[in-house]
Amino acid sequence: MAQVDSVETGQDGAGRRATGARAWPAGIRRAIRTGFPPGRWKRGRVLAALAVLLGLLMPLHAEITNTGGLGSLVETFLPWFGLFIPVLLVGALWRRSASAVVALLLPAVVWVNLFGGLLGDKARSGGDLTVVSHNVDAGNPDPAGTARDLAASGADLLALEELTPQARGTYEKALAKAYRYHTVLGTVGLWSRLPLSDTQPVDVKTDYGPLAETKPADVKLSYARALRTTVATDQGPLAVYVAHLGSVRVFPRAGFGTVGRDRGAQALGEAIAAERNERVVLLGDLNGTTDDRAFADITSRMRSAQDAAGDGFGFSWPARFPMVRIDQILVRGVEPRSSWVLPATGSDHLPVAARISW
């Protein structure tokens, strides 16, 4: 005999339609009927398409052309593309588009896969050395105060970038008590509690201006933006690089100007590839993120301390409202145990720190 739907009556059965042994509450049937009718799936097709494009752009960012620096620009702000997800969700709910809501699952899953691991605290206890890197800012109004703050961090190795001839003496005097050893080449320097040796400049293809080829070596050295030195530790020598790569600019017509920065990144990558010491630390303002393809020669050989052992994204610039992590601590042959961002100083960058072990 065919099964017949019936409507239950009485105090317990009012408002329910029975189908066999099961009964669906009227509220659920009404939600299904009004929330996801066929028209709701046809609405918001543009929003759904944008969601799919967003979900494809994030994992395929390396396929974006770098003409005018477009690819590097996208990769610099890649984590922030996640903000488009709630914006599109609001639009999907306003349009009552079921298709757009479902399509947003793609970028949400992709973003979590790419960056979700950065949200938790991956720090571990222990470590043998604390390293700090800070672009102290050529226009810093209080270099002495910045030096005191950095000395109080307890760093064993302290790398400074964007040193000026006028401020160099201030830093040397303020840091002399905490750091017995230091070396400065051009605009970068390293202060250390451990002995240093074999300090050499690293040519990161700095633009010395007109007639660059005729500049004397001592003039070029005064504008040096990278160095390599050896730190003597109880566990053996540690090669340390300190670098400040060229700045990037956004031009209305030319796009994202990264030519100088990219040339320096390639030269720095070649120097690290030729490094014979198994234990290497790179400290500096690279003017780019580790997602940027320009640093592939470096990131293919070194690990980011922040990515491996940090808490959050570790944004370091600009200091008042950090949006990107362009100040980096990268390692090879040593283990990052923890990584963090220090409080603001008089600079427009935040100092970054890491604890490493053998």
Specify if 19 maps to a domain. no
Give burial (CB, 10 Å; 0-12/13-18/19+) of 115: middle
pLDDT recorded at residue 21:
42
| Mean pLDDT, residues 117-128 | 92
Q: Where are the alpha helices (DSSP H) in 58-164?
A: 70-76, 84-95, 98-103, 105-119, 143-151
> Among residues 119, 137, 172, which one ends one of the domains?
119
pLDDT (tens digit per residue) in 226-270:
999 999 999 999 999 999 999 888 777 667 889 999 999 999 999
pTM for the model:
0.84
Residues 50, 160, single domain; the answer is no
Residue 303, both tokens: 């690990």
> Among residues 64, 92, 119, which one ends one of the domains?
119
Residues 148, 237, single domain; the answer is yes
Residues 235, 178, single domain; the answer is yes
> How far, CA to CA in Å, does 26 sit from each of 4, 20, 32?
18, 16, 10
> Among residues 119, 149, 175, which one ends one of the domains?
119
Specify if 218 maps to a domain. yes
Q: What is the CATH number of the domain that holds 243?
A: 3.60.10.10
Q: Are 184 and 168 in contact (CB under 8 A)?
A: yes
Q: 17-26, 41-50, 62-71, 183-192 — which one is most confidently predicted on average?
A: 183-192
Answer with the residue of higher pLDDT: 217 or 73. 73
Q: Strand 129-135 and strand 157-161: pairing?
A: parallel
Residues 165, 39, single domain; the answer is no
Say how many C-beta atoms besides its own lie within 10 A of residue 158's C-beta: 29
**For the chain, what is the mean pLDDT?**
88
Specify if 62 maps to a domain. yes
Does the pLDDT at position 221 exceed 70? no
Specify if 86 maps to a domain. yes
pLDDT recorded at residue 293:
95
Cα(146)–Cα(348) distance, integer angstroms:
12
Per-residue pLDDT band at 207 (split at 50, 70, 90): low
Q: Are 327 and 316 in contact (CB under 8 A)?
A: yes
Total domains present in the chain? 2
Residue 308, both tokens: 């491996």
Structural domain range at position 289: 129-357
pLDDT (tens digit per residue) in 239-250:
999 999 998 887
pLDDT recorded at residue 120:
87
Does the pLDDT at position 299 exceed 90? yes
